[in-house]
Amino acid sequence: MKKSILSLSLVLLFFSCNKKENATTTAELDTKFDQYKTFFIDELWKISPEWSSSQGFHNYDSILLIPTDENDRIQMKFAQSQLDSLKNYPLNQLSDNNKTDVHMMENLMNSFLFSINEMKSGTWNPSQYNVCGAFAEILNGNYDTLENRLRDFDLKMTNIPAYYEAAARNLKNPTIEHTQLAIAQNLGGLSVFNDDLKAALAKSNWSDEKKNATLEKAAKAIQAIENYADFLKKMDHATPRSFRLGKELYAQKFDLDIQSGYSAEEIYQKALNEKEILHGKMFTLANKLWPKYFPKTTKPTNKLEVIRQVIDKISLQHTTPENFQSEIEKQIPELVDYVKEKDLLYIDPSKPLVVRKEPDYMAGVAGASISAPGPYDKNANTYYNVGSLSGWSKEDSESYLREYNDFILQILNIHEAIPGHYTQLVYANQSPSIIKSILGNGAMIEGWAVYTERMMLESGYKNSDEMWLMYYKWNLRTVCNTILDNSVHTRNMTKEEALHLLTKEAFQQNAEAEGKWKRATLSQVQLCSYFTGYTEIYAFREELKKKDGAKFNLKQFHEKFLSYGSAPVKYIRELMLK
Ligand code: ZN
Ligand code: ZN
């Protein structure tokens, strides 16, 4: 089945490359380009079945591709064909929406080539090979009947032994960090083929014979995963590759993943500078607040220590575990009213955000997050999931509530909901593009949410010295994420230096700092997306303010900016300046 799909897709690609475009008008070319986008996504899903499943497209749920060289060649061929086809669509003849789509498709194809030819993480990151998550999604999904999902689950298991054999063959000199992660995550996911599968089979109407055949297949899958873990455990790591990416690969990955107008080095320098600016502002505020919170205590001589003590004291103002959810729910309509009253941007009243208690499968991740429907499930609600602290130990919930104190909790709601992620999403859905809903630019999306935090405070939201001090602490986190990521991957930053940066200069707790260090050793570039997107949006706004003078209108700027959808900030800027 897999083979025939792939060869069919290559035939189609061949035709698409040789298609001649004779369009004369923008409208005609746009229509052609829309058809091509549909074709592009159809083909993309054939060679990326797991990605398509995660986006809610379930035709290829039963396919598990084996990570062979042949598979890489198919991906490369796809990328090169599409890069050729994209040349048939001259940017100056397309609508703005399609212009940014071209850039994003091109970037994805270049990312495919970069990942196969340069990054080669398949040879050094064993955690890249893990089937458990995709199988768990099939069991937990509610898009089809249990029996249909079990049929896909069963078919997909067929290739598991070959999949892990290929994985072991691909690995040349893995890093110790990714090897440990791979062992933990692969063994951690085994329950999917064990208890979880058994529970699902018990609920199905399958015959015992059919159930047993599936369980036999599952036993082979479990064996393959255990063999892979054993293989990894036995590796000698005589001269292991470093988890540090190095300057050159890092710079390239930054350009492809972030698609920023700044280089990795430029944004690193900006982050260093911003850290000093924030420390200056924070000391001014902490110094002013000191007598209010410590009337009888002598002020420490170290400026960072003054800031820390005032922050710790203010963090004691927080809600209770019982009121955590209702506090968040209460703030959403307040934020909507405020944005209206200050005329910051239009909020569509027909699309209210549905606040709900965090569903069980997300439990344990307290706080708040947005669940947006995927591109194939447009009419579903967007939810604001609010975590519960019930069942948490007294110490854990106290520490959590200090972190998300009365001030930070409001900034979190601005970021996640109004006018942050949720509002951006509503605007993005108004210029629908399958490309942007699948390839949405992370730096633009996170940058917008971080931008709105500062924008809201600048407009006077809950104005107080305490609010600003806590905001700066929150913002310092994104700044230091960038410094950390770049320093770890290109400047040999040690763990000790990293923990110093995060705890002493960014005022984080030890547990948070340890977790961040681990994340920086296992991922690359992603930690920069927040600060990079934010810096670009803020700088662009200031640029327009200067240019337009008295004519500048903040509301118009926000609405126009968001109307381009989740495209990279540099392209939105280009189109808005045109
Ligand atoms: Zn407390
Ligand atoms: Zn965010």
- What DSSP assignment string belongs to 10-29? HHHHHHHHHPPP---SHHHH
Residues 90 and 200 in one domain: no
292 CA from centroid of ligand 1 (Å) = 19
The rounded Å distance from CA 318 to ligand 1 centre is: 6
- Using CA atoms, how far apart are residues 234 and 242, in angstroms rounded to an integer? 19
- Domain boundary pick from 107, 123, 139: 123
Which ligand is nearest the CA of 424, by number? 2
Residues 212 and 277 in one domain: no
Question: Any idea what the Cα angle at residue 265 is, between residues 262 and 266, rounded to 5°?
Answer: 45
Domain termination site, one of 123, 157, 186: 123
Same domain, 34 and 144: no
Residue finishing a domain among 123, 140, 158: 123
What are the b/e assignments for 25-52, b being 16+ CB within 10 Å? eeeebbebbbebbebbbebbbbbbbbeb
For residue 421, the CA-to-ligand 2 centroid distance in Å is: 7
- Mark whether 112 and 159 lie in a shared domain: no
Instruction: Centre a 10 Å sphere on the Cβ of residue 494 and count the other Cβ atoms it contains.
Output: 11
Task: Give tens-digit pLDDT for 16-43.
Answer: 444 444 545 788 999 999 999 999 999 9
Let me know: does 473 contact 312? Beta carbons within 8 Å. Answer: no
Residue 312 lies in a domain: yes
Output the pLDDT for position 365: 56
The per-residue pLDDT for 361 is: 62
Determine the distance separating the centroid of ligand 1 and the alpha carbon of 392, expressed in angstroms. 14
State the total domains in the chain: 3
Q: Assign 438 to helix, strand or coil.
A: helix
Q: Distance from the CA of 419 to the center of ligand 1, in angstroms?
A: 29
At residue 15, the pLDDT reads: 44
What is the distance in A from the centroid of ligand 2 to the CA of 555? Answer: 22
Q: Encode the chain (578 residues) as per-residue pLDDT tens digits.
A: 333 444 444 444 444 444 444 545 788 999 999 999 999 999 999 999 999 998 889 999 999 999 999 999 999 999 999 999 999 999 999 999 999 999 999 999 999 999 999 999 999 999 999 999 999 999 988 889 999 999 999 999 999 999 999 999 999 999 999 999 999 999 999 999 999 999 999 999 999 999 999 999 999 999 999 999 999 999 988 889 999 999 999 999 999 999 999 999 999 999 999 999 999 999 999 999 999 999 999 999 999 999 999 999 999 999 999 998 889 989 999 999 999 999 999 998 888 888 888 776 665 555 778 888 778 876 778 888 887 888 889 998 898 899 999 999 999 999 999 999 999 998 988 877 899 989 999 999 999 999 999 999 999 999 999 999 999 999 999 999 999 999 999 999 999 999 999 999 999 988 889 999 999 999 999 999 999 999 999 999 999 999 999 999 999 999 999 999 999 999 999 999 98
* CA 397 – ligand 1 centroid, Å: 9
Residues 473 and 436 in one domain: yes
Three-state secondary-structure class, residue 65? coil
Domain assignment present for 493: yes
Alpha carbon of 350 to ligand 2 centroid (Å): 23
Domain that holds residue 324: 254-577
Residue 497: inside a domain, yes or no?
yes
- Ligand index nearest the alpha carbon of residue 420: 2
Nearest ligand to the C-alpha of residue 406? Answer: 1
Tell me, in angstroms, the distance from the centre of ligand 1 to residue 407's CA.
14
Ligand 2 centroid, distance to 250 Cα (angstroms) = 23
Q: Is residue 149 part of a domain?
A: yes
Ligand nearest to the CA of 321: 1
Distance 315 CA to ligand 1 centre (A): 8
Residues 332 and 231 occupy one common structural domain: no
Burial (CB count within 10 angstroms: exposed 0-12, middle 13-18, buried 19+), residue 399: middle
CA of 121 to the centre of ligand 1 (A): 44
The CA 49 to ligand 2 mean position distance, Å, reads 27
Do the domain assignments include residue 147?
Answer: yes
- Within-domain flag for 504: yes
C-alpha distances out from residue 114 to 69, 107, 277, 331, Å? 15, 10, 36, 44
Q: Is-above-0.85 flag for pTM?
A: yes
Whether 55 maps to a domain, the answer reads no
**What is the pLDDT at residue 181?**
95
Say how far apart CA 260 and CA 141 lie, in whole Å: 35
Same domain for 196 and 101?
no
Phi then psi dihedrals of residue 355, to 5 deg: -85, 130
Do residue 265 and residue 187 come from a single domain?
no
d(CA 536, CA 260): 8
Q: Are residues 499 and 440 in the same domain?
A: yes
515 part of a folded domain:
yes
| 509 CA distance to ligand 1 middle (Å) | 15
Least distant ligand from the CA of 369: 2
Of the listed ligands, the closest to the CA of 397 is 1
Q: How far is the CA of 55 from the centre of ligand 1 (A)?
A: 41
Burial readout 501-517 (b: 16 or more C-beta within 10 A, e: otherwise): bbbebbbbeeeebbebb
Which listed ligand is nearest to 422 at the C-alpha? 2
Do both 264 and 227 map to the same domain? no
Output the CA 316–ligand 1 centroid distance in Å: 5
Residues 136 and 113 in one domain: no
- Residues 494, 557 within the same domain: yes
